[in-house]
Amino acid sequence: MRGMKVGRNDPCPCGSGKKNKHCCAAREQKRAAVRDSLGKGLFYVLGPLAIVFAVAVSISALRGGSVGDDGLERVWSAQHGHWHVVLPDGSETEVKPGMVWNAEHGHFHPAETNVEAARRYVTDELDQKIDDAQVTVNEESPE
């Protein structure tokens, strides 16, 4: 009897004595309704968000520019076939590989390698510890 389909007016297989349509079938129908309403709710919430995101991406792509990590806008130069950066004075120059913009000096500098950055970090931290130790020694020694 496990593979047989239970009719709506048949006794419920759970043994409650009620008709199937008033017992387990009704509960399953309520679960399906809740599941459908949650799915529709997510669609109605996420659908418009997806549309807004797609429109924003399209507008950004149409503008043609993007801003890099250094805060400078990048524009595609069809004439040269590569990206240019827009400098603060409004002029454009090509993006130089291995170079970073220095706003303080107003021109590009060679990018610091990971080894150089690590060495500077360790040196700065060591200098700080030496300074802290010197302050501690000066505070403890009577003068």
Model confidence at 62, pLDDT cuts 50, 70, 90, reads low
Q: For residues 84 and 92, is the Cβ–Cβ distance under 8 A?
A: yes
Give CA–CA dist 84/74, Å, rounded: 6
- Eight-state DSSP code of residue 11: B
Q: For residues 74 and 83, is the Cβ–Cβ distance under 8 A?
A: yes
* 115-139 tens-digit pLDDT: 777 777 778 888 888 888 888 888 8
User: What is the pLDDT at residue 98?
Assistant: 75
With a threshold of 0.75, does the pTM exceed it? no
Residues 36-42: contacts with CB under 8 Å, at least 24 apart: none
User: What is the pLDDT at residue 86?
Assistant: 81
Model confidence at 3, pLDDT cuts 50, 70, 90, reads low
Burial class (CB in 10 A: 0-12, 13-18, 19+), 101: buried
Q: What size, in residues, is the chain?
A: 143
Give CA–CA dist 124/116, Å, rounded: 12
